[in-house]
Structure 1
Amino acid sequence: MKLDNAGTWIAHIGKHVGSTTMMNLTAFDDRFRDDPLDAEEVERYVASRLASVPYFQSRVQRTPLGLGNSHLVPVDDFDLSRHVKVREAPGSGSWAELRDELAELRETPLDPDLPPWHVSVVTGVRGVPGSTGRTVCVVTRLEHAVTDGAGSVALARQLFPDTPSSEETLSRDVVPVVPRRYSLLTSALMQVPDRVGRFTVNCRDALAKRKSKSGAPDDAPHPPLRGPAPETVIDRANGPLEYRAFAVGLAEIQRVRALAPGATINDIFIATVGGALRRYLGKFGEVPEEDLRCAITVATAKRDLSPFVGNDFTMAAVPFWIAVEDPIERLRCIVQSTRSVKERLRSGPKVPIERALQTVPPMFIPNILTKLSGGKSLVNAAVVNVPRGSRPMYFGQAKSVASFGFPFTDGVPVAHSVSSLGDVATVNVLYDSAAIRDGDAYQEMLEAELGAFLDLSA
């Protein structure tokens, strides 16, 4: 299977930016059985659920000379035990101890010579946000070159159905689907005319959209954010990653949306993070005169071939509006900003320009990235929202209690991910420990800012 252009880019930039692995954790009620989980039993379960997924027994293979799209190619010596791990919680079994391990794991890339996924089952974890008692935590890791956040949700829904699985299902043996082999060099050479054609079409589309926008009135609440982001004490990136998370009822978050017409859940958390960053900088540094910038992701298309494969998103930046102290007014400003940015992406030249660049042979990607970035960060923080659905998930007989996301931190000192499952949402923060030196204090500030919104909407 051929990966799309965006996935091919990610496959090539991985060695330049570090880990491009997506990571999620789903916590399940641990009261469904008394006997410990057996590794072979879990392996059979994973195989029964994921055997039909295109990358189950295939790895990402870049084309010779970087001339064409990367492919999924079958491995010759697939060993399921290298992709599934079962172990007890570290130390005393507390969430805090597991949390430290998760931050370290997030920085560890998957083996590029193996299929691009891994499942770790950690039993007997206590104190997981959003849960009571002990839980089983299942950590899924997936290479971003294969798919995006929507694809990671599709994987989770495939692995964890919305109804309990019987013991027979857990032990069922399934013959996996192995993709056909490709002549990658031949495929790459055959792609050249198509790449040239798509480059031309996207360039024309970008020029047409730029021309149609020129002279048109712009009612955006802020001008386009260009150049590097303002530097603050959090813009340091030379320490190990640390991780914090807390849970909140999803219904409570939904009520906050009524405070500002058109507000999304992501808008609410951009406003929350903006307020927390203002508090943090006010206590540990200095609040800059120029507004801080937030990176967001915006979906650009729907899956064409498979829900499990494809990258259909772009990145954008919006202001945090940290100078606006009133939380409701700040939220309203953010709603206008994100709406304006999404409209610019829909009708402007950015997306076709990106698609044109993605048709350039990947061998030139490092030079392009260096020239585009200029070595400066364009944002101060990131906020993403990946809903995992209202229906519960089941790991065998165990019902899900909460889900957690581990956002990318490349290019930003602190990244936030909102992950919702059922009626529980979690707020996840992954940060450079040299940037946020007091993670507990920052989490308290986030909770205080979110609490202010919850009080106003009560």
Structure 2
Amino acid sequence: MSWRRLSGMDAAFLHAETGDAPLHVMGALVLESCGRGPREDFRRIRAQIERRLPGLPILRRKLVQVPLGLARPVWVDDPTFDLDAHLRRAALPAPGGNAELFEAIARMAEVPLHRDRPLWEFWVVEGLEGGRFALVAKIHHAAVDGIGGAQLMCALLDVDRNAHPSPTAESEPEPEAAPSSATLLADAALSLGAQPLRSAWQVLRTTGMGARLALASLSKRKSPLPSAPRTQLNGRVTSRRAVALGSVPLADVKRVKNAYAATVNHVVLAACAGALRRYLGRHGAIPRQPLVAAVPMALSERPADGLGNSLSALLVRLPVHLADPIERLRAAREASRDAMRTHELIGNQINEWADLLSPTLVAGAVAVYTRLGLAEHMPPVVNLVMSNVPGPGTPLYCAGARVTALHPIGPIYDGCALNLTVMSYDGSLGIGAIGCPDAVPGVEEIPLAFEASVDELLQIVAAASPSIAAAS
């Protein structure tokens, strides 16, 4: 059986999407000039993607709805798959700098993917300064999470500039027929029949989780769950998007983490907190308490076919209220540990409840939330989404051109108008910021402030004596 039902989390990303909040993930790759010209670059990139399609079912499958919406949609082979419907060309206006590239990516981010075909598209963007070009990937979050997107990019690209196509490359398999309506209804009936027992079991598990949280609150005299302050990051989103990218040397981040017994993730959290403190100081008020970031956490088991999400979420306090960079780093380190301890108490409740919820119920709840503008009236659960995705440590090549920079970009939604995603690649740490400019003006300042925050920490480490750094 080649068809597969979406998980509850995958379906939640699909049904929570609105016209103003398309829920796709993106990646922006900047490639060096090979002097071949835009037409030849595009031809070679198309040929490389076409060669890789047989081994990547994720790119050849589309969604089919279950009759009457009785169960979650299923992935099936697309019998009319057409690569040219997914691969596009775009050209930047002069001078082809960062501002023009960021604007082009933002316009791509605003447009939802077509639901009648596999949920992805790639853009080859020409006209960057110095003869460079970019490859911008856009894939629905129902199909991939951050790790899945990174794995897909690695599967599409080469580790050798002079890689040659295999003479025995496999041909594209014949698409399997989609399941009949009767088959889908029978499968839905089996699932619905088990629903009452599964729901009762989940209620018991949730009750146990609540008891554990209550005991933890009593023992520590505070709730393990963080409380998010209301900020401008938590307004309604419109269809407009703003994108900005940046990067720092990974060696600088590692030098800071080694000096203060931290991890790369701790330094990233502290640098994001510093960047947001700078941003909020310019555009409003710095809150007197930490922001709360929803930080996706990859699970160990991943779908064999590459389709879908395998993640949970941590609620991490971002210490934007602290002025001292080292205090922010220490607080970020402790906040990360607190979030892990809280996750151990809660377990994977989000995924477990998502598996039980009706798609119609999710879509209806999102529609009501959006139509009534509840994001502006209800207390926020989180202030932003922040991801840190491990990427390849060695250079990658696309059609013989070296990828010189790789930047991830996540989605935003009503009540959470900013997403910061970080990804390592070939000795660098790239950051992608996306926001709704009607709620979060000046998004382009945030990656620059992230770079400044890392540099600030690095200067403190360089100035500190070895004994001070070791004691910290």
C-alpha distance in 2, partners of 1:149/1:221? Answer: 36
Greater displacement, 66-75 / 327-336: 66-75
Does 1:181 find its partner at 2:185?
Answer: no
Q: 1:94 aligns with which of 97, 100, 104?
A: 97
Contact 1:52 1:177 in 2 (8 A): no
C-alpha distance in 2, partners of 1:224/1:212? Answer: 10
Paired position in structure 2 for 1:267: 266
Structure 2's unaligned 5+ residue stretches are 463-472
Contact 2:87 2:123 in 1 (8 A): yes
Give the drift of 1:24: 0.5
C-alpha distance in 2, partners of 1:207/1:27? Answer: 49
Give the drift of 1:437: 2.8
Paired position in structure 1 for 2:357: 360
Write the letter of the residue equivalent to 2:204.
R
* SS class of match (1:48): helix
What are the superposed Cα offsets for residues 409-436 of structure 1, whole Å, 9 maximum, x if unpaired?
A: 2132222111221112112211222333
* SS class of match (2:58): coil
* SS class of match (1:10): helix
Q: 2:51 aligns with which of 39, 48, 51?
A: 48
* SS class of match (2:116): coil
Contact 1:51 1:177 in 2 (8 A): no
Give the drift of 1:440: 4.5
Give the drift of 1:44: 2.8
Write the letter of the residue equivalent to 1:119.
F
* SS class of match (1:51): helix
Does 1:392 find its partner at 2:395?
Answer: yes
TM-score (norm 2): 0.85
Write the letter of the residue equivalent to 1:436.
V
C-alpha distance in 2, partners of 1:23/1:348? Answer: 30
Paired position in structure 2 for 1:129: none
Q: 1:315 aligns with which of 313, 316, 332?
A: 313
Paired position in structure 2 for 1:63: 66
Paired position in structure 2 for 1:136: 133
Paired position in structure 1 for 2:467: none
Contact 2:9 2:354 in 1 (8 A): no
Give the drift of 1:224: 3.5
1:85-124 alignment, distance < 5 Å: 85-124=88-127
Contact 1:418 1:426 in 2 (8 A): yes
Write the letter of the residue equivalent to 2:143.
V
Q: 2:330 aligns with which of 325, 332, 356?
A: 332
* SS class of match (1:55): helix
Contact 2:287 2:320 in 1 (8 A): no
* SS class of match (2:381): coil
What are the superposed Cα offsets for residues 90-122 of structure 1, whole Å, 9 maximum, x if unpaired?
A: 433223212101012112111111111112112
Change (3 A) 1:163 1:38: closer
Runs of 4 or more, structure 1, over 6 Å off, are 170-173, 217-222
1:162-177 alignment, distance < 5 Å: 162-164=159-161, 166=163, 168=165, 174-176=171-173
Change (3 A) 1:272 1:203: same
Give the drift of 1:71: 0.9
The percentage of counterpart residues that share the same residue type is 24
What are the superposed Cα offsets for residues 305-332 of structure 1, whole Å, 9 maximum, x if unpaired?
A: 33x1121212332222223222112111
Greater displacement, 80-89 / 164-173: 164-173
Write the letter of the residue equivalent to 2:203.
C
C-alpha distance in 2, partners of 1:165/1:190? Answer: 52
Give the drift of 1:16: 6.8
Write the letter of the residue equivalent to 1:115.
P
Contact 1:59 1:74 in 2 (8 A): yes
Greater displacement, 63-72 / 211-220: 211-220
Give the drift of 1:404: 0.7
Write the letter of the residue equivalent to 1:430.
I
Give the drift of 1:354: 4.1
Paired position in structure 1 for 2:230: 231
Q: CA RMSD in A?
A: 3.0
1:142-221 alignment, distance < 5 Å: 142-164=139-161, 166=163, 168=165, 174-176=171-173, 178-183=175-180, 184-212=184-212, 214-216=214-216
Contact 2:233 2:416 in 1 (8 A): no
C-alpha distance in 2, partners of 1:455/1:93? Answer: 33
Write the letter of the residue equivalent to 1:110.
L
Contact 2:431 2:447 in 1 (8 A): no
Give the drift of 1:41: 4.2
What are the superposed Cα offsets for residues 159-218 of structure 1, whole Å, 9 maximum, x if unpaired?
A: 113223546569978324524422333322232234444434433333334445553578
Paired position in structure 2 for 1:285: 284
Contact 2:113 2:140 in 1 (8 A): yes
Write the letter of the residue equivalent to 1:160.
L
* SS class of match (2:55): coil
C-alpha distance in 1, partners of 2:19/2:220? Answer: 35
Paired position in structure 2 for 1:130: none
Contact 2:7 2:355 in 1 (8 A): no
1:12-31 alignment, distance < 5 Å: 12-15=15-18, 18-31=21-34
TM-score (norm 1): 0.87
Does 1:80 find its partner at 2:83?
Answer: yes
Greater displacement, 57-66 / 176-185: 176-185
C-alpha distance in 1, partners of 2:197/2:47? Answer: 45
